[in-house]
Amino acid sequence: MSAPLLVVSNRLPVVIEQHDGQWCSRPGSGGLVTALTPVLRQRGGLWVGWPGASEQDGLDLDGMLSDAGAAAGFDFAAVKLSDDERDKFYYGFSNEIVWPLFHGLHTRCNFDPSFWEAYRAVNCKFARTIKENVRADDFIWVHDYHLMHVAKELREVGLRQKIGFFLHIPFPPSEIFLNMPWRFDVLQALLEFDVLGFQTQGYRRNFTQCISSVIPGISVRGRGRVVTTKTPRRKVRMGVFPISIDFDEFADQAASPETTARAHEVREEFANRKLMLGVDRLDYTKGIPERVKAFGDALDRYPELREKITLVQVVVPSRTAIHEYQDLKAEIEKLVSEVNGRHTVSGWVPIHYVFRSLDRTNLTALYRTADIMSVTPLRDGMNLVAKEYCACRMESDGVLILSEFAGTAATMHRGALLVNPHDRVGMADAVYYAVMMGKEEQRTRMRVLRQGVRRFDVFWWLDMFLQASSGDDVELAAPPEEYDLLAILPPESIARPVPARVPDPAS
Ligand code: ADQ
């Protein structure tokens, strides 16, 4: 537990940008930053990553990073990338190959061979920066799909230290993964880590099935927890660690005077109406078009909902340099205006669409005010927004509509209304059910959800990963009981659309 941490991720938790010709920095956003910042601040340590800007006239990158590190409460070491490296490694291999493939969307992949070359070269650059900065007792903890090759590069430069890896996104079923032209190299590289962490048991199962079918001489023991490779003979341990949030920080912020005042204003704005909220990064995996369509369907199917509910859909700009993301933005805006065009009447606009990042006060004020939170990704490693919403529900009310395909469903299935985001009828029914749900049922469900998020918070996640990395048992405390789609549904209901299922939170 006491080893200092050397955290490695693609992006440093800071954004360097230019405003009116002046360079400035601000803290980064996104799931990984949200999860790790409080942990590093508490323990101290070093974060290695790409600062997001290249060297250029007028920019004192090192000076800015040193100031940003002082403000964050821990040190930064920058891996500097050229524009070509950024394009091929980040936009190319990471976001046009691994991201869609691991989310089960292999037809969206662009398997350009030059992306693979850049991926290996940049992972090698990360390894060099780690080698220059690592201290003898550091535990090296590498994060996410951009850096699957780092341990292999570190081993090649002679580093024998223990290295852990946590995959924040899903690991796909083998028939999807095996589409990747460099499948052997990626699997072999992952097996150079000492500990591999996954968000759910399902993702770990997919990984073990993959290596068992592709790599000769592999043995998997301990119910999928230990892999032994043949040449060279080494042991890799694999655990399940569902990532979470700093529950107390969100709960305190939600209760703060500034959030309370802002929540009051938002409530006044939507007086006498139910507020349904969506908060997502701009991404095709988040199911935003599907949600907007289903919301329009709910208004068509249930006329009694009209003028009684407003959807506030917040989208945070992300990867906007990629064409597909620009197309997605245009698609969402078209769908929003279609639904609004169909249903708006004097004094009521059904969907309020916000395309920008929100600060904590505004975000938590929305969580506090929203009667219904809709988290309906087509596939998501975990999804922290669902947990943030529950942490902010101080009165233990509110309804969480949750996709079966979010990693979060594995542990939050009891209190949430589970939906299949492709099932427009089921999604519309879930909106109706959520609007009609009485306070008593809301409280029963929300208490279950809040207890889970409070107990299994980000510090639990961190402790479990670090303890598992330093000991022999890779799962010291079993993660909460998992939802398994195939185990819960009777086989006959899998083949046809099912209505929004409403599991009894007490069972
Ligand atoms: P992300 O895909 O970024 O993370 P998510 O887990 O939902 O997804 O985290 C998003 C974070 O961004 C949340 O903390 C949220 O508060 C913040 N955010 C979203 N919209 C915002 C807005 N408009 N303004 C301000 N903040 C906003 C990846 C994986 C996930 C996994 C996390 C952590 O894709 O599946 O849960 O890593 O492992």
Candidates 376, 384, 400, 412: which one to mutate for ligand 1, based on the most atoms within 8 Å of Cβ? 384
Our answer on whether the CB atom of 354 is closer than 6 Å to any ligand 1 atom is no
Measure CA 492 to chain center. 32
Percent of the residues in the chain that have a pLDDT greater than 70, as a whole number = 90
Position 492 confidence tier, pLDDT thresholds 50, 70, 90 = very low
Residue of 383, 392, 453, 461 to mutate, ligand 1, most atoms within 8 A of C-beta: 383
CB distance 374 to 398 below 8 Å: no
Q: 32 CB less than 6 Å from ligand 1? A: yes
Q: Report pLDDT digits (tens) over 158-174.
A: 998 899 999 999 999 99
Model confidence pLDDT, tens digit, residues 345-377? 999 999 999 999 899 999 999 999 999 999 999
pLDDT at residue 2, as a whole number: 52
From the CB of 29, is ligand 1 less than 6 Å away? yes
Evaluate whether 365 touches 389 at the Cβ level (below 8 Å). Answer: no
- In this prediction, residue 444 carries a pLDDT of 95
The one-letter amino acid code at 179 reads: N
Q: First and final CA of the chain: distance in angstroms?
A: 36
Q: Which of 138, 371, 380, 423 is catalytic?
A: 380
Is the CB of residue 361 below 6 angstroms from any atom belonging to ligand 1? no
What pLDDT digit, counting tens, does each position of 288-346 carry? 999 999 999 999 999 999 999 999 999 998 887 788 889 999 999 999 999 999 999 99
Confidence of residue 497 (pLDDT cuts 50, 70, 90): very low
The CB-side HSE value for 26 (13 A sphere, CA atoms) comes to: 6
Q: Does the pLDDT at position 9 exceed 60?
A: yes
**What is residue 323's predicted lDDT score, i.e. its pLDDT?**
85
pLDDT at 74: 84
Atom of ligand 1 nearest to the CA of 245: 14
- Whole-angstrom distance, CA of residue 335 vs CA of residue 268: 27
Distance 382 CA to ligand 1 centre (A): 9
413 labelled catalytic = no
Q: Which of 91, 407, 280 is nearest to 100 (CA)?
A: 91
Cα(253)–Cα(486) distance, integer angstroms: 38
CA angle 248, 199, 87 (to 5 degrees): 100
Which of 186-190, 199-203, 423-427, 482-486 shows the lowest per-residue confidence on average (mean pLDDT)? Answer: 482-486
Contacts of 454 (CB under 8 A, 6+ apart): 247, 391
Structure tokens given for 421: 């985001």
Judged against a pLDDT cut of 50, whether residue 498 lies above it is answered with no
Write down how long the chain is.
507
Is ligand 1 within 6 A of the CB of residue 358?
yes
Q: Is the CB of 279 under 6 A from ligand 1?
A: yes
With beta carbons less than 8 A apart as the criterion, state whether 173 and 203 touch.
no
The residue to which tokens 């919301």 are assigned: 295
Residue 400 CA, ligand 1 centroid: distance in Å: 16
From the CB of 168, is ligand 1 less than 6 Å away? yes
The answer to whether the CB of 316 is under 6 A from ligand 1 is yes
- Using DSSP, state whether 22 is helix, strand or coil: strand
Q: Is the pLDDT reported for residue 16 higher than 90?
A: no
Distance CA 10, CA 16 (A): 14
Q: Tell me if 213 sits within 8 A of 426, measured CB to CB.
A: no
Q: Dihedral of the CA atoms 489, 491, 493, 495 (nearest 10)?
A: 130
Q: In angstroms, what is the span from residue 158 Cα to ligand 1's centroid?
A: 36
- Token code pair at residue 213: 């079918």
Say if residue 475's pLDDT is above 80: no
Average pLDDT, the chain: 89
Q: Are 177 and 171 in contact (CB under 8 A)?
A: yes
Residue labelled with tokens 């209760």: 255
Q: Give, as one character, the DSSP assignment of residue 27.
A: E
Helix 31-43, helix 384-392: angle, nearest 10: 70
266 close to ligand 1 (CB < 6 Angstrom): no
Q: Which candidate, 219, 159, 213, 149, places its Cα nearest to that of 186?
A: 149
pLDDT score of 474: 62
Q: What is the residue-wise DSSP string for 44-60?
A: -EEEEEE-SS---TT--
- Euclidean distance between CA atoms 243 and 198, whole angstroms: 9
246 Cα: distance to centroid of ligand 1 (angstroms): 13
* CA 35 / ligand 1 centre spacing (Å): 10
Q: What is the pLDDT of residue 495?
A: 34
Q: How far apart are CA 205 and CA 225, in angstroms?
A: 10
pLDDT at 235 over 70: yes
Residue 168 annotated among the catalytic residues of the structure:
yes
Q: Which pLDDT value is given to residue 255? A: 98
Identity of the residue numbered 157 = V
Summarised one tens digit per residue, pLDDT across range 28-37 is: 765 567 667 7
CB 398 within 8 A of CB 442: yes
Residue 110's contacts (CB-CB under 8 Å, 6 or more residues apart) are 92, 96, 97
Q: What is the pTM of this model?
A: 0.92
Centroid of ligand 1 to alpha carbon of 482 (angstroms):
22
Active-site residue, selected from the candidate residues 103, 106, 168, 343 = 168
- The answer to whether 262 and 365 have CB atoms below 8 angstroms apart is yes
